[in-house]
Amino acid sequence: MNIALVTCESLAQYAAPNVEDEDSLLTRYLREQGHTVEPRVWTNPSVEWQRYDVVVVKSPWDYFDRVEEFYQWLDRMEALGVRMLNPVATVRWNANKKYLLEMQQAGVSIVPTHWLNRGSEVNIDELFDILGSDELVVKPAVSGGAKNTFTLTKQESAIRQPQLASLLQHEDFLVQPFQPEIQQEGEWSLIYLGREYSHCVLKTPKSGDFRVQHYLGGGIEPREAPAHLRRAADAIVARYAADCLYARVDGVDSNGELLLMELELIEPFLYLASAEGSLARYEAGLAVKL
């Protein structure tokens, strides 16, 4: 296959000593299997996307900084009839975390979430009552890499009020109760390739933090997926990612139930180096989708 691997101008800020460069790992493996693979920056207007057999969205890790431009790029891919994985419609749907609201309304258990619309006025003290928690996590509706994501306590409400009001002038946000399971156990990531379950990791934050991203000092431990989490994740992928090359289900184990934090269908790190056979499963999923 002739494959364009979609990336961004720079991945340097996401590098970490405890993980391998996944783009290079995947590119090298696919080339060894006889495929032509060319990394292509999604913002480069000179790329002739239609000359590839498939455009694989891998690491456009700046899309949330220029989301309107990203939507326009998706429109262009659609207009050109480019075969893209994951599909354009799925990527567009997954770009805004309000997809979680749709999933919740359909019966999926998510971390309780309160939505703050751009330009709205908010009283932080009221958020603690609404969500029934003494500590909250605030994050943009369109975001990645823990950008503009922070915790709030009641003691900080007066100090943080102007900051949140300022952020709301530019974009939508969501607020969730802090999940102590993240610090007590960690955040589970179940990875699916070609709709089939592939492997699982448990991500843990560094001491004193709540963010689990590896480039922020978080830890990664390959683990067998607990059966009850696997059943819940299987159902989510079957319903919302059946047409996808890859999917990552992120959540916490809360009293024996998977509480979904995010369904990653755009550009998730897939921890391919952590599981034997994952690269072969990626290629097999690619073949099936084509």
Q: Give 81-123 pLDDT, tens digit per residue.
A: 999 999 999 999 999 999 999 999 999 999 999 999 999 888 8
The letter for the amino acid at 208 is G
282 pLDDT above the threshold of 90: yes
Q: What is the pLDDT of residue 205?
A: 72
Q: Are 212 and 182 in contact (CB under 8 A)?
A: yes
Segment 41-62, tens digit of pLDDT: 999 999 999 999 999 999 999 9
3-state SS, 244-269, equals CCEEEEEEEEECCEEEEEEEECCCCC
Q: What is the pLDDT of residue 209?
A: 57
**CATH placement of domain 99-109+181-277:** 3.30.470.20
What the block records as the tokens of 249 is 């289900």
229 pLDDT above the threshold of 70: yes
Report, as an integer, the average pLDDT of 51-80: 96
Domain(s) labelled CATH 3.30.470.20 in the chain stretch across 99-109+181-277
For residue 54, the tally of other CB atoms under 10 A from its CB is 18
Listed in sequence order, the DSSP H helices in the chain are: 22-32, 67-80, 88-94, 99-105, 124-131, 157-167, 181-184, 227-240, 278-289
3-state secondary structure of 240: helix
Go through 107-118 and write b for each residue having 16 or more CB atoms within 10 A of its CB, e for each that does not: ebebbebbebee
Domain(s) labelled CATH 3.30.1490.20 in the chain stretch across 114-177
Average pLDDT, the chain: 90
Q: What is the pLDDT of residue 144?
A: 75
Q: Are 50 and 57 in contact (CB under 8 A)?
A: no
Any idea which fold 114-177 has? Dna Ligase; domain 1 (3.30.1490)
200 pLDDT above the threshold of 90: yes
Tell which CATH classification among 3.40.50.720, 3.40.50.20, 3.40.50.1820, 3.40.50.300 matches the domain 2-94: 3.40.50.20
Name which residue leads in pLDDT, 93 or 167.
93
Domain(s) labelled CATH 3.40.50.20 in the chain stretch across 2-94
Q: Are 20 and 271 in contact (CB under 8 A)?
A: no
What's the predicted TM-score (pTM) here?
Answer: 0.91
268 pLDDT above the threshold of 90: yes
Q: What is the pLDDT of residue 29?
A: 98
